[in-house]
Amino acid sequence: MKKAILFTILFFIACAVIYNLYPEKKLPLNTEIDYIIVKKSNRQLLAYSKQKLIKTYQISLGDSPVGHKAYEGDEKTPEGLYTINAKNAFSGYHKNLGVSYPNSKDIAHAKLLGKPVGGDIKIHGIRNNFGFIGKFQRFSDWTNGCMALTNSEVDELYATVKIGTKIEIRP
């Protein structure tokens, strides 16, 4: 019985290591991602080049992902059409791409609620010094409203997405 339990534990650990270290398909060389669609309900970020789907990434979202971000601190990821408006290679979460939230409609809605609108919505990697978590970050929604990828995935997007790229975030 003890051997069976030990074998099961070792098998689980081996599978977890293989899952985390198994290489994923990389973007083709010289790719330029010119449109991004995020499907929150599927936890997917779809990267397009010239109207062709190039790669689908599995993402994590905010702690309370259902619904459109209404104000700062609601832990929701916004929904709507935005742009990539910044790139930060020195982020506290490896690297990030800034999303142009809030727009004027977002600001007006938060004001109507009497709440601060917030901002700083990003596509980012894993918190610095925790990159070893790798693909395990996908197992739960853990951000404050951002879209999280593994560090190698955010490296790919960082290199292939230009400021001004449109990002459509769907429910």
- Active-site amino acid positions: 124, 146
Residue 56, both tokens: 């689908």
**CA angle at 126 for the pair 123 and 130, rounded to the nearest 5°:** 170
Q: How far apart are CA 87 and CA 129, in angstroms?
A: 20
Question: Quick one: which of 31, 58, 20 has its CA closest to 157?
Answer: 31
Q: How far apart are CA 162 and CA 83, in angstroms?
A: 10
Question: Quick one: which of 37, 24, 66 has its CA closest to 151?
Answer: 24
* Contact predicate 66/74, CB 8 Å: no
Q: Write the CA distances from 120 to 39, 48, 135, integer angstroms.
A: 20, 24, 23
Name the residue type at position 48: Y
